Structure 1
Amino acid sequence: MRYSICYTPSARDPLSLAAASWLGRNVYSGEPVEHPALPGFGLHDLAFHTALPRRSGFHACLKAPFALHEEASEAQLLRELMHFAGIVEPFTLSGLEVARLGDFCALTLAQPSNQLERVASLVVQNFDRFRAPLSDAEIERMAPERLSAPQFANLYRWGDPHVLDEYRFYMPLTGPVAMSQRDRIHQAAATYFAPVLQGSVVFSNLALFVEREPGAPLVVHSLHPMGRVSARKIA
């Protein structure tokens, strides 16, 4: 069993519903969802391009998947996450857009958000005591020889190279896309998600995701609303 702390909208949020259809799986129930009918796309075409994010589910990672430390329990993790969420104030994700990040498409922010970066950093640091150390094999799978010096340091300190100053918020919508298809896929995703991105998207909860066995699809274990204890703000 591995756990991950992420952002994802609530189950009935229009963005969650749109993403579940786009990816072909509901990250709350784990059940398949029918893909939307897109002009010029067959269902198998969209299914192929969304296979990787379908397994991981619609989310932006804050704390990468980790096994529990031998001295920690799921109950302790849940209590700490509930407390933490309650003292962090919600905020608006301004400028959320469909973008191309290298060879894949994702929802990301047009401009950096100081509030988001602070919450992401706090999650990484506050919950690291629950994380079991990475094995040598797990470190090797992350190809440490390809990392920058700060990323290498993050991998060994926090179990994830892309945290703190190296963090970027994104919610994957595709896996790697061939260069000849990138403009087509990007335009289709941008058009499809445009209606649900017109209004405000609020970062108002933290989600605990679980991977019940190696390679299993990630699902939401529990959703923790933010801002319940307003007298003790830390973000």
Structure 2
Amino acid sequence: MTPHRLALYWAPPDDDALHARGSTWLGRDAAAGAPLLQPALPGHDIAALTADPRGYGLHATLKPPFRLAHGYAAAREAAAALAARTAPFDLPPLAVHDLDGFLALRETAPCPALHAFADACVTGLDDHRTPPDEAELARRRPDRLTAPQREHLTRWGYPYVFEEWRFHVTLTRRLTAGEKAVVMPAVTDYLGDAPGLARRVSTLSLFVQPAPGAPFTIAERLPLRG
């Protein structure tokens, strides 16, 4: 059965400490499709703070979720071909950052190979993307976007691609200043040294959403073979 939506993401391998700690922080393992008991966060509702990213799983977006135009098998074949021509590369150490009010893991040094990988994912599977309808476009609030972002939204179905793209592994919803003062040191301490460990980007993760509103799960990790 074709899933409702497919997304191309980077996600740490199952045996990476970041997968275990980050998934537990969010309260859900996208590889196992199972809920996890979250750490305590005194004075704050960690389940509410992490509800939005929990549904998508621990990941960084390469090509955002899209409805399939030609079915899953055809899109999977295109993704496998993309992975086969992409060489593995080193990911810079990650660290917790404030990204426009959200807390997220971001790279600590430029990584041209990472940016090129994201660009290739956007273009390489675009023939398999069903264009968003007017309601979906309106939810992106195009009136609040820059001119280049509106152009990307029209052409690629998402405003934050190419020069507008920023690698990030989302850890919370948008926080108030008071929440951030508590949550930022808490998540930094909880993740410990896991974000900064040396790691290779060696797979492309296919995340699927089986039905509207359902959480995303990892369908497959395609090895990079270029």
Calculate the TM-score normalised by the size of structure 1.
0.90
> Paired residue for 1:61?
61
1:113 to 101, 111, 114: 111
Q: Deviations over 1:139-164 (max 9, x none)?
A: 11111111101100000111110001
**Amino acid in structure 1 at the alignment position of 2:178:** S
Structure with the higher strand share, 1 or 2: 2
Task: Point out where structure 1 has 5 or more consecutive residues left out of the alignment.
Answer: 228-232
Q: In the alignment, does 2:135 pair up with 1:137? A: yes
> Paired residue for 1:162?
160
SS at match of 1:5: strand
SS at match of 1:64: strand
Matches of residues 1-235 of structure 1 in structure 2 within 5 Å?
1-37=4-40, 41-42=41-42, 45-69=45-69, 72-227=70-225, 233=226
Percentage identity across aligned positions?
35
Task: Point out where structure 2 has 5 or more consecutive residues left out of the alignment.
Answer: none
Q: CA deviation at 1:113?
A: 1.2
**Amino acid in structure 1 at the alignment position of 2:55:** R
Q: Deviations over 1:62-114 (max 9, x none)?
A: 11111111xx2211111121221122111111131111112110011123211
**In the comparison of the two structures, how many residue pairs are matched?**
223
Quote the Cα distance in structure 2 between the aligned partners of 1:95 and 1:18.
Answer: 16
Q: CA deviation at 1:170?
A: 0.2
**Amino acid in structure 2 at the alignment position of 1:28:** A
**Amino acid in structure 2 at the alignment position of 1:135:** D
Q: CA deviation at 1:43?
A: 9.3
Q: Deviations over 1:13-46 (max 9, x none)?
A: 2111111111110011221111135xxx249622
| Cα 1:65–1:45 shift into 2, 3 Å | same
**Amino acid in structure 1 at the alignment position of 2:82:** F
Give me the CA root mean square deviation.
Answer: 1.5
Calculate the TM-score normalised by the size of structure 2.
0.94
SS at match of 1:21: helix
> Paired residue for 1:230?
none
**Amino acid in structure 1 at the alignment position of 2:205:** A
Verify the 8 A CA contact 1:5 1:63 in the aligned structure 2: yes
SS at match of 1:182: helix
Quote the Cα distance in structure 1 between the aligned partners of 2:143 and 2:196.
Answer: 41
